[in-house]
Structure 1
Amino acid sequence: MFEAITYRNAIGPGPLIDIGALAEGLIFYGRVVIAANSATIEELLTRIPPFILLSLLRDGRLEIHYMEDHTGVSSDTLSNGRSVHGLIRFSSPAHIIEKVGPQKFRAAAGNTSQAKIGASQFTRLLNPLSHSGFDQESLLQTFSEGDTIQDAVKALIREVAPTFESPNDFRFKVERERNGQFSVDTNIDFSSLNKIYHRVVPPEHSTITEAYILALVQGAYLASFLAASLNTEIAVHPIEKAVQASAIDSVVRKYTQSQLQIERFADLTLSGGHAIREAVNSGAVPFASVVKLLDSADKFRHWLHQQPADANLVRAYYQETIKDSWIAKLPGKSMRWGIFTGIGLGIDALGAGGLGTATGVAVSAIDSFLADKLVGGWKPHQFVERDLKTLFNPVEKVGSGKG
């Protein structure tokens, strides 16, 4: 508990660093870190006497990690009036440690020989930190996932303008363009939103736009990156906290949904919802055998990736298996489901009530050649029935014992 914490620039108007929070951190935490840029350095040296700040660094009570580069959102307006954006990293030769350290320290401490020595020591104690490990391409992919970004933006708006009424069909979708750029499709009334926002935050500080929202969301994800890079907790602004909670909830919800889909699918096609996991964990199926299975799983995996995020995997599997076959042309849904149970699927799991209980037949009872003729071409069931089930749910041979 209270091992380490990182502070960084605040989002709203006012001081960049909460000096009171920093003091509290120095009391309670074993390790206190500041992720800083040139403005942060200037703020610290203005709020804390330079030589006291230097002594904190020299005694190891405080660490300052200086950002060698920065992240942001670039925006351009096309000839048709549409705005396109990009996630960027940028740096300036005027803001490197070797220049900023001495300049800011001497500006605060004075132009004395003691200040010159202190400036040199102060600069040596600044630790360089870059965003080279911050994967903006993956973040852009996250932005492109509708629910994730929309939930984050909703949370952000609730925090900065609590009385703003979002439309019932709230929309904030990021659409990929060429050259790594993207556009935003939204129905946010920015004029009304900023009227509320500017009651608290002056227009001179910021105005909410598509780009500003994206920058704030990127900043919330960046907080997690810094916490991991510096191996600390991180002090976050309420705006970031709201966005992070929404983003993490979205990730967890997505993972939970995926796991539920897998469990239902495995329960349908194998002996139980955790058949794969349990077989490997128990040693019944060696991990090396799973690795050998991966090549034959490529087509199946590719098919999975093509399914919509909100698809019902079991139903999609059924529909893909009978697509373009004579089964799909049968007049009654019950008849189609009945044929399908004959190649290893239970109707109950697909939502057809109790129709499948009496008619479910293991696929091993059917000639695989016949199954292929039923559906034609490559279908996902071919991997499931031939490879997956052979490894994780082998059919026990009847009468194979000594007689």
Structure 2
Amino acid sequence: MFDRITFATQNKLDGNNPIDLGHLAECMIFYKSTYVIASQGILKQLIKYFGVDGLIELLDSNVLHIIYTESMVGVSTNTEGSRQFYDVVEMSSPQHLYQDVLRKQIVEVTGKAGKGRRLANKIQDKIKVTNHDHSILDGTRHSILNQQYIQTAANLVLNSKLNGSVDLSGLRFQTEKQDRGIVVSTNTNFLILNQVYHKFVPATHSSLTPASILAEVLDLEKELCFASNNVSEIAASQISSTLAKNKFDYIFEQSYKTEEKINNFSDFALDNAQKLRDAVNNKKITAKDVIQIIEKSHKFKSWLTKKSPESDLIKEYYAEVTKETVADKLPGKTARFSVFTGLGLAADATLTGGLGTVAGLSLGALDTFYLDKLLSGWKPNQFIDDQLLPVINKKT
């Protein structure tokens, strides 16, 4: 644990603050390498907060790796009469080309064209550029069209977004592939659910729809695909964490054809950690302060990654790293981790006498890829962001 972690968009509807910088700072303190899957918004946010020189310092130390995606993925909705058809799509645009975006954003942040271009030249080769793997779309469609999986996923998404305040025990959410796209059949009254949802999330921010549920399924597949390729852990929102646990339970149930429920994750909390995240987000400490704490953590990280994840051990590490820094006097908080135990793998080996049980089964290609990574030693532990919408404040 604490070797690598992958960090992605947390707030899709606030272009100015698509990620929680405080949570990112905590990741870079705990983990040897933090991978950020960056959209235009994330790239600009990082440049604005850390500055180009600060980012270069983090990139050169290998504590931070930025992977800029020139393409985007999302859920499309086509309405024909009273029916709606959904699909997952990948989009690209000439306005999203990396070098042009980088220069434009640095010029906007610095306010100086010449300086912006020089700084862009200085950092551009230190950021990796990619597009989304097409397997993400195929894998998402397979997950959406699996009735057992999507029924559970829809329930988990709505329960998380509604903070468990609505009884969803009778929820029905089914999907069907038709020529024009995917049709959702549900008994969910979204008008009533949104009356509850908008009590704590403004209607101007978002509403609950079938597409919003499918989008969470897509986002999970995207996060898992990048994390598995990086062989890294995951900086997960509460919704993604819940969906990920359901995803791995589903994979293991399918792999050895049993309805037995096996808990593949063990959660633990780190008490009395300093509120570094809140201090960063409330601008009580600067980016320079954060970088100094990260630099101090370097000499302890090799030791931490070789230890079993235990609350007391992590508390000791965090206290040592933040001692005699601006974070030392911050009030306490609780940080949550979810550790992959792999009990499903163990059960698979016990029941079948081996782990080669995926051939010919109903797993899709992407799920099979995840399972292969798990069998090769990937441990998708999670550093959990408990807040539903960390950068949104309701306005009345």
TM range (shorter): 0.5 to 0.7
Quote the residue 1:200 is aligned against. Answer: 200
1:134–1:200 CA distance, 2 compared to 1 (3 A): farther
Quote the residue 2:286 is aligned against. Answer: none
Contact 1:35 1:64 (C-alpha < 8 Å) held by counterparts: yes
Tell me how far 1:60 sits from its aligned partner.
3.1
Deviations 1:267-312 (A, max 9, x none): xxxxxxx9x967x99xxxxxxxxxxxx9xxxxxx8xx99xxxxxxx
CA distance in 1, matches of 2:20, 2:143: 31
Q: For structure 1, which segment, 221-230 or 42-51, has the greater mean C-alpha deviation from structure 2 after superposition?
A: 42-51
Aligned residues: 269
Quote the residue 1:212 is aligned against. Answer: 212
Quote the residue 2:165 is aligned against. Answer: 163
Tell me how far 1:167 sits from its aligned partner.
5.3
Tell me how far 1:73 sits from its aligned partner.
0.8
Quote the residue 2:42 is aligned against. Answer: 40
The code of the aligned residue for 2:34 comes to: V
CA RMSD of aligned residues (A): 2.9
Contact 1:86 1:182 (C-alpha < 8 Å) held by counterparts: yes
Deviations 1:236-288 (A, max 9, x none): 1111111222222233233343599xxxxxxxxxxxxx9x967x99xxxxxxx
CA distance in 2, matches of 1:186, 1:240: 22
Contact 1:167 1:188 (C-alpha < 8 Å) held by counterparts: no
Contact 2:103 2:116 (C-alpha < 8 Å) held by counterparts: no
Consecutive unaligned residues of structure 1, counting only runs of 5 or more, are 261-273, 282-293, 295-300, 306-403
1:146–1:134 CA distance, 2 compared to 1 (3 A): same
Q: How does 1:3-402 map to 2 (within 5 A)?
A: 3-11=3-11, 15-79=17-81, 81-111=82-112, 113-161=114-162, 162-166=164-168, 168=170, 170-178=171-179, 181-258=181-258
CA distance in 1, matches of 2:115, 2:75: 41
CA distance in 2, matches of 1:20, 1:213: 27
The code of the aligned residue for 1:184 comes to: V
1:113–1:58 CA distance, 2 compared to 1 (3 A): farther
CA distance in 2, matches of 1:21, 1:144: 33
Contact 1:7 1:235 (C-alpha < 8 Å) held by counterparts: yes
The code of the aligned residue for 1:257 comes to: K
CA distance in 2, matches of 1:109, 1:134: 38
Normalised by the size of structure 1, how large is the TM-score? 0.61
Contact 1:32 1:63 (C-alpha < 8 Å) held by counterparts: yes
1:28–1:254 CA distance, 2 compared to 1 (3 A): same
Consecutive unaligned residues of structure 2, counting only runs of 5 or more, are 261-348, 363-396
The code of the aligned residue for 1:43 comes to: Q
Normalised by the size of structure 2, how large is the TM-score? 0.62
The code of the aligned residue for 1:32 comes to: T
Contact 2:11 2:19 (C-alpha < 8 Å) held by counterparts: no
CA distance in 2, matches of 1:125, 1:16: 22
Quote the residue 1:393 is aligned against. Answer: none
The code of the aligned residue for 2:254 comes to: K
1:76–1:277 CA distance, 2 compared to 1 (3 A): closer
Contact 1:5 1:29 (C-alpha < 8 Å) held by counterparts: yes
CA distance in 1, matches of 2:169, 2:36: 39
SS in structure 2 opposite 1:49?
A: helix
The code of the aligned residue for 2:26 comes to: E
CA distance in 1, matches of 2:253, 2:352: 20
1:199–1:12 CA distance, 2 compared to 1 (3 A): farther
The code of the aligned residue for 2:118 comes to: I
CA distance in 2, matches of 1:82, 1:151: 23
Q: Which has the higher strand share?
A: 2
SS in structure 1 opposite 2:204?
A: coil
SS in structure 2 opposite 1:235?
A: strand
1:277–1:239 CA distance, 2 compared to 1 (3 A): closer
CA distance in 1, matches of 2:211, 2:125: 36
SS in structure 2 opposite 1:207?
A: coil
Q: For structure 1, which segment, 104-113 or 213-222, has the greater mean C-alpha deviation from structure 2 after superposition?
A: 104-113
Contact 2:159 2:168 (C-alpha < 8 Å) held by counterparts: no
SS in structure 2 opposite 1:257?
A: coil
CA distance in 2, matches of 1:113, 1:141: 48
